[in-house]
Amino acid sequence: MESIEKEYERLRKKSNLSKSISDVDKCIQLLQNARQAIANDPSSARVSIAKLQQTVPAALEKIKDDEKEIYSGLSRYGRALDKTFKATTTYSTNDYDALSSQSDLIKRAIAMHLIREGQFAAASTFREEAGPIDIPPHLTTEFVEMYEILNAMRIHRNLGPAIAWARSKSTELDHRGSNLEFDLCRLQFVWLFLEQDGQMRAFHYARKELKQFQEKHLDEIEKLLGAFAFQTRLKSSPYAPLFADPEKCFNDVANAFTKEFCSLLGLSAESPLYIAATAGAIALPTLMKMAAIMKDKKTGWSTVNELPAEIALPPGYQFHSIFVCPVSKDQTTESNPPMMLPCGHVIAQESLQRLAKGSAVTIKCPYCPKESSLAQAIRVVI
């Protein structure tokens, strides 16, 4: 990148047309001077023109030099690009592309991405231009609502709409083990409490709204109310951490709200398109290296279903448990599921069957001395 920057600076400062233009101007000046001289004194015409025969070619030569400078600047910048991107020309030409034939699905993914990111105007232009796209009905309405609630929370510090939403979905949220409603109400209490002369209102709020959470959150409610005893010197009280950083609380609660809202729609909290494109950019160097190696050795990879090498992604990019059979080193699949032996060790079904070959009666666990029969192995879901 440094050489690109350096060559770019050179290009911008030196290799541009401004010098050519001023040299063309000088050339025009020569012609105009000659014209002026002839107009003033017609008898000098021959002399003036003879002079032009000397000066104009020299001026043109200068313009040519200016062009050479631009040309060399462009070439040098081009070479700097070549150097930085040298390894990268191959990927676009390879034919490993399962997506070209799926443009409808890609369009759907994009439309849903734009909607969930709140780009409603772009999304609707896109749907006008791209024709019918099969996206879940009401998706736009849902996300419009979500952004209204989020904006109320983030911009106006108004938790009301979020609390109302959580309350209307309390059964589903409870089922997921989500405490969103309580978290929202608790933040409302904290926010009131921190307002100028807000303690009285916070007190009333607690009596009215926090009571319903007693059963599950009594401890936390007691802590919140304990703050009243220290309201004049809250910062040095044991309750300080609860009230320390309401900005962060708003942010956390907004994220939790987004996650729950999307989950109830059956969607992930982050845009899948964003996660996948980011993972793809992280994976590409490895994939390309692999492609180059395989091209070199003229080999393909044995299983078309599986990438030929492991790709390292940041933590947080793993969404499922992974089970790799310790015997065969294969990942288990629906057709080759994980099986648990009575001793609690898990191996893949195919490995188990291979172990059972020969002795139909007992299998010895590969990892402990325990023996069992094939029928005792249980299919598990990891």
Q: According to CB under 8 A, which residues from 129 to 188 bind other proteins? A: 129-130, 136, 174-179
Helix (H, G, I), strand (E, B) or coil at 315: coil
Contact 246, 188 (CB under 8 A): no
CB of residue 148 vs other proteins: minimum separation in angstroms?
18
Q: Which DSSP letter does residue 330 get?
A: P
List the beta bridge partners of residue 341: none
Using CB under 8 A, which residues numbered 32 to 51 contact other proteins? 32, 34-35, 38-39, 42-43, 45-46, 49-50
Site for other proteins in 217-256 (CB under 8 A): none
Q: Which of residues 255-274 bind other proteins (CB under 8 A)?
A: 259-260, 262-263, 266-274
Q: How far apart are CA 90 and CA 291, in angstroms?
A: 9
Binders of other proteins among 343-362, rule CB under 8 A? 343-346
Q: Does position 203 bind other proteins by CB under 8 A?
A: no
Burial of 68 (0-12, 13-18, 19+ CB in 10 A): exposed
CA dihedral 179, 180, 184, 190 (to 10 degrees): 40
DSSP state of 102: G
Query: What DSSP line would sit under 55-88, residue for residue?
Result: HHHHHHHHHHHHHHHHHHHHHHHHHHHHHHTGGG
Cβ contact 177:256 at 8 Å:
no
Q: Say whether residue 318 binds other proteins (CB under 8 A).
A: yes
- The residue range among 152-160, 194-202, 245-253, 275-283 that interacts with other proteins, by the rule CB under 8 A, is 275-283
Q: Of 192 and 325, which CB lies nearer to other proteins in the complex structure? A: 325
Min dist. Cβ of residue 230 to other proteins (A): 28
Binding other proteins by CB under 8 A: which of 240, 244, 293, 309? 309
Number of residues in the chain: 382
Sign of the torsion formed by the C-alpha atoms of 36, 38, 44 and 46: positive
Check if the beta carbon of residue 372 is closer than 8 Å to that of residue 342.
yes
**Residue 257: partners with Cβ closer than 8 Å, 6 or more residues away:** 149, 150, 153, 162, 165, 166, 180, 184
Assess 291 for contact with other proteins (CB under 8 A): no
- The owner of tokens 């032996």 is 341
| For other proteins, the closer CB: 298 or 329 | 329
* 126 makes contact with other proteins (CB under 8 A): yes
Q: Residues 148, 149, 150, CA angle at the centre, nearest 5°? A: 90
- The smaller minimum CB distance to other proteins, of residues 273 and 356, is found at 273
Give the residue, chosen from 88, 212, 251, 373, that forms a contact with other proteins under the rule CB under 8 A. Answer: 88
Of positions 16, 199, 237, 376, contacts other proteins by CB under 8 A: 16
Q: Which of 27, 225, 356, 374 binds other proteins (CB under 8 A)?
A: 27
**Considering the complex, what minimum distance in angstroms separates the CB of residue 40 from other proteins?**
11
Contact pattern for other proteins over residues 321 through 340, marking x by CB under 8 A: xxxx-x--x-xxxx-----x
**Of 112, 150, 166, 192, which lies in the binding site for other proteins, with binding defined by CB under 8 A?**
112
Q: For other proteins, which is the closer residue by CB, 152 or 287?
A: 287
Q: Among residues 110 and 228, whose Cβ is nearest to other proteins? A: 110
Residues 54-83 that bind other proteins (CB under 8 A): 56-57, 60, 63-64, 67, 70-71, 74, 77-78, 81
Neighbours of 226 (CB within 10 A): 13
